Amino acid sequence: MGRLEYTFKNDTLFKMLFVKYPGLLKRLVAKLLDIRYESIEQFVITNPEMPPEALGDKFCRLDINMMVDGQRVDLEIQVRDEHDFPERTLFHGAREYSTALGEGKPYIELPRVIIVSIVSFKLFDCVEYRSEFQMLEVTRHTRLTDRMTLIFFELPKLPKEVGVDDESRLWLKLFDAETEEELRQIEALGVPIMNQAIEAYRSITVTEEFRTLERMRTDARHNEAAALQNARREGQREEREKWQEVIVGKDAEIARLRELLGGRDK
């Protein structure tokens, strides 16, 4: 069972593949949002660029922003559980929402913002692999507005068996695939759109363009990890120095108190 050198969860591959094949992206988004593909009239990728200088930046996000029938949709992959993903997603959604209104426009014209996250770790304490959040009143569960929606797909919770008619789960299985055997199992189902996606995947991963960009992205990840490690070490050093100062101060205070008490005894 040969492991894939690159999976669909690789963010460089994810961005490059779906920008180069927008028809596949449109089909994926339709399934993830549970809307009819044929009903989509407006579908525009608003951040198709992937400049090399951005790939070299630490903490760069390779998400895909779209306008889908007047709605702002953002799709991203998250592989590592950094234990702050809900907060990070809310921050990102709030930023997308706050920048969606043109100057001088009334608030009622704010478009709906939908943030879709596919994560490769368990995020919520539930059995469902799909979770959708909006702003609700806490006791009556009355919706305040539908203008911001956060949708999460947790890959570890996917059912093992997926039928050929369940295209949304097949897409998620494709993202979850780690081996050549898993890809071949999906191909063997004979679902045309899945085979098109796998063919596009194979064509992208052999190009020098992808491999060059992925090397840059890998270097950025290493730099990010080193920066975080150095920050932790610096924080630990500062914490040690702070407590050392406290201890020294306490020792001096105790010495003065002993001296005072000793003087009184005399």
3-state secondary structure the chain: CCECCCCCCCHHHHHHHHHHCHHHHHHHHHHHCCCCHHHCCCEEECCCCCCHHHHCCCCCCCCEEEEECCEEEEEEEECCCCCCHHHHHHHHHHHHHHCCCCCCCCHHHCCCEEEEEEECCCCCCCCCCEEEEEEECCCCCCEEEEEEEEEEEEHHHCCCCCCCCCHHHHHHHHHHCCEHHHHHHHHHCCCHHHHHHHHHHHHHHCCHHHHHHHHHHHHHHHHHHHHHHHHHHHHHHHHHHHHHHHHHHHHHHHHHHHHHHHHHHC
d(CA 92, CA 109): 20
Q: What is the mean pLDDT of the segment spanning 103-124?
A: 93
Residues 6+ apart with CB under 8 A from 225: none
Residue 175 identity (one-letter amino acid): F
Query: How many residues would you count in the chain?
Result: 266
Are the CB atoms for 174 and 197 separated by under 8 Å?
Answer: yes
pLDDT of residue 45: 97
116: left (phi over 0), alpha (psi -120 to 50) or beta: beta
Residue 1 has pLDDT above 80, yes or no: no
**Which band of pLDDT confidence, cut at 50, 70 and 90, is reported for residue 246?**
low
Angle at 98 between CA 18 and CA 112, to 5 degrees: 60
Instruction: Work out whether strand 71-78 and strand 130-136 pair parallel, antiparallel, or are unpaired.
Output: unpaired
Q: If pLDDT is split at 50, 70 and 90, which confidence band does 102 have?
A: confident
**Which of 214-249 are b and which e, b meaning 16 or more Cβ less than 10 Å from the residue's Cβ?**
bebbeebeeeeeeeeeeeeeeeeeeeeeeeeeeeee
Confidence of residue 103 (pLDDT cuts 50, 70, 90): confident
Quote the pTM value: 0.81
With a cut of 60, say whether residue 250 has pLDDT above it. no
Q: Is the pLDDT of residue 55 over 90?
A: no
> Do 9 and 120 meet the contact criterion of CB atoms below 8 Å apart?
yes
What does the pLDDT look like over 17-45, one tens digit per residue? Answer: 999 999 999 999 999 999 999 999 999 99
Q: pLDDT band for position 261 (50/70/90)?
A: low
Q: Is residue 154 within 8 Å of residue 114, measured between CB atoms?
A: no
Which residue is it, tokens 């460089």? Answer: 12
Residue 148 confidence (pLDDT) above 80: yes
Q: Taking residues 106-126, report their average pLDDT.
A: 94
**Residue-averaged pLDDT of the chain:** 87
pLDDT over 60 at 52, yes or no: yes
Residue 206: what pLDDT?
94
Lowest mean pLDDT among 95-99, 139-143, 188-192: 95-99
Question: Quick one: average pLDDT of 157-182?
Answer: 94
Is pLDDT at 219 greater than 80 in this prediction? no
Map out the domains of the chain as residue ranges.
11-206
Structure tokens given for 89: 């997603």
Q: What is the mean pLDDT of residues 95-103?
A: 87
